[in-house]
Amino acid sequence: MNPVVHSHRLRVRYSETDQMGVVYHTNYLNWFEVGRTEFIRHADLTYRELEEKGVLLPLTDASISYKKPAKYDDEVEIRTHVDEITSVRLTFAYEIVRVSDAELLVTGKTMHVFTNAAFKPIRLSRTEPDVYEWLENQHKGGE
């Protein structure tokens, strides 16, 4: 099973770096969010629309492994895929790769729970079965 990987490119901005021109470590978590947002957008659905349907995806856990630094003006690719899904939880996995040399810079995961606006857990398979099915298909490697 090969999950569908969504890629999104961005260029490292000066404001994302420290005095040495190296990306400050917390910015990778922001890039994970960019990858996740663009992944959802690939379903012709935005986070805003998901929230308007009464579905929130609060973060419960995050892990990150730094391999090599990204630097100012590097073009990087954020590769995002569904690592695990149940009707109540969703885990995304990420790779951040420098485009110029295909060097793997960072890997990580974020775990989320499906909740309503009151942050009570919900079963996405019941609340939004079409969204759940799409995410499950992405995990399984289909469109």
Catalytic positions, written as ranges:
18
The Cα-based distances of 109 to 21, 26, 54, 100, 116 in angstroms read 25, 14, 24, 24, 23
- C-alpha distances in Å from residue 116, one per residue of 6, 50, 64, 107: 26, 10, 27, 29
Q: Which residue matches tokens 């569908």?
A: 4
Separation between Cα atoms, residue 42 and residue 32, nearest integer Å:
15
